[in-house]
């Protein structure tokens, strides 16, 4: 099984580089249309997804594919437990950053097999950073092993989060942003969920929390954080489900403290 996982991981790495190459080709050349307020889509991410899907289909013809730009993708239905291995792909995470030429965006590719996430790859083309992981095989950054941080106190933690594009849906996380401002050392918003989680996996951030994720935002990051020694759950502490929108990922000590803080205001989670 480990050799098969390594093969799948390598395929995801190659697909991520292929998609990122298309993003860089299109950068500063694309036109933009709005799917919703501040929720932008470009020719670039559509072209990236198409290339990634074609590559993975050629390499793994028996696998299924779920991409952010697929019709009906946001309906929140995951593959059944008996479905073929399914690639869960965000061809451009951090679209608004990309549109404004802010160098904080990436390609995110996860693989779910029998209801379990087993491969996670996130590639940042501007930093040339390849975060890669597979179940039981550890997590790496550009081929070197990575681990979550050893920060033990929430008061010393740098945490990250993400907000939904619709301002009318941001009130819940604004509450927690204010609360954690007083509990943590520092908070960050990169504009890319996948990069937030990748940074947790290599110890740059100590934790990530959010209430409005989609599966393609987090699938790769879940595997990365776990394989780097961290914990990923729902905000209640229950088992992580990438097709539920809430998620907490952190090193073990900070994860426990974060879950306890969230539980103190259950009407706000």
Q: What confidence tier does 36 reach under pLDDT thresholds 50, 70, 90?
A: low
Cα angle at 146 between 55 and 121, to 5 degrees? Answer: 15
The mean of the pLDDT values for the chain is 93
How confident is the model at residue 71, as a pLDDT? Answer: 59
Residues 6+ apart with CB under 8 A from 90: 67, 68, 107, 108, 109, 194, 216, 217
The answer to which of 83-97, 116-130, 157-171 has the lowest mean pLDDT is 157-171
Tokens of 122: 């996130």
pLDDT for 38 beyond 70: no
- 133 to each of 47, 97, 219, how far by Cα in Å? 25, 25, 11
The answer to which of 74-83, 124-133, 158-167, 210-219 has the lowest mean pLDDT is 74-83
Q: Is the distance from CB of 107 to CB of 19 less than 8 angstroms?
A: yes
Residues 6+ apart with CB under 8 A from 232: 221, 222, 225, 226, 240, 247, 248, 249
- Percent pLDDT > 70 in the chain is 94
How confident is the model at residue 258, as a pLDDT? Answer: 97
Helix (H) or strand (E) holding 167: none
Q: Is the distance from CB of 133 to CB of 121 less than 8 angstroms?
A: yes
For helices 171-183 and 252-263, angle between their N-to-C axes, nearest 10 degrees: 120
Return the CATH fold of 154-268: D-Maltodextrin-Binding Protein; domain 2 (3.40.190)
For 192-246, how does the pLDDT look when each residue is reduced to its tens digit (9 = 90+)?
A: 999 999 999 999 999 999 999 999 999 999 999 999 999 999 999 999 999 999 9
pLDDT for 260 beyond 60: yes
- Fold agreement (2-145, 154-268): no
For 128-158, how does the pLDDT look when each residue is reduced to its tens digit (9 = 90+)?
A: 999 999 999 999 999 999 999 999 999 999 9
Q: CATH number of the domain at 2-145, please?
A: 3.30.540.10
Residue 112's CB is within 10 A of a number of other CB atoms, namely 26
> Is the pLDDT higher at 247 or at 268?
247
Domain boundaries, the chain: 2-145, 154-268
Q: What confidence tier does 32 reach under pLDDT thresholds 50, 70, 90?
A: confident
């Amino acid at each position: 099984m480990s050799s098969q996982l390594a093969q799948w991981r390598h395929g995801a790495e190659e697909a991520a580089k292929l998609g990122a190459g298309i993003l860089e080709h299109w950068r500063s050349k694309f036109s933009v249309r709005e799917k919703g307020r501040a929720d932008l889509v470009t020719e670039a991410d559509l072209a990236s997804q198409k290339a990634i899907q074609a590559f993975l289909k050629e390499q793994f013809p028996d696998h299924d594919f779920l991409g952010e730009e697929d019709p009906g993708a946001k309906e929140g239905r995951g593959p059944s437990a008996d479905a073929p291995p399914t690639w869960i792909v965000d061809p451009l995470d951090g679209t608004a950053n990309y549109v404004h030429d802010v160098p904080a965006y990436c390609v995110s590719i996860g693989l779910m097999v029998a209801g379990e996430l087993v491969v996670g790859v996130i590639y940042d083309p501007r930093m040339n950073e390849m975060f890669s992981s597979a179940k039981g095989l550890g997590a790496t950054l550009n081929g070197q092993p990575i681990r979550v941080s050893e920060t033990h106190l929430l008061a010393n933690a740098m945490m990250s989060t993400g907000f939904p594009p619709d301002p009318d849906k941001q009130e819940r996380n604004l509450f927690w942003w204010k609360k954690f401002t007083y509990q943590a050392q520092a908070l960050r918003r990169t504009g890319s969920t996948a990069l937030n989680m990748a940074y947790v996996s290599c110890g740059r951030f100590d934790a990530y929390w959010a209430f409005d994720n989609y599966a393609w935002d987090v699938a790769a990051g879940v595997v990365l954080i776990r394989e780097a020694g961290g914990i990923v759950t729902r905000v209640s502490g229950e088992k992580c489900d990438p097709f539920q929108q809430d998620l907490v990922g952190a090193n073990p000590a900070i994860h426990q403290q974060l879950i306890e803080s969230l539980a103190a205001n259950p009407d706000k989670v």
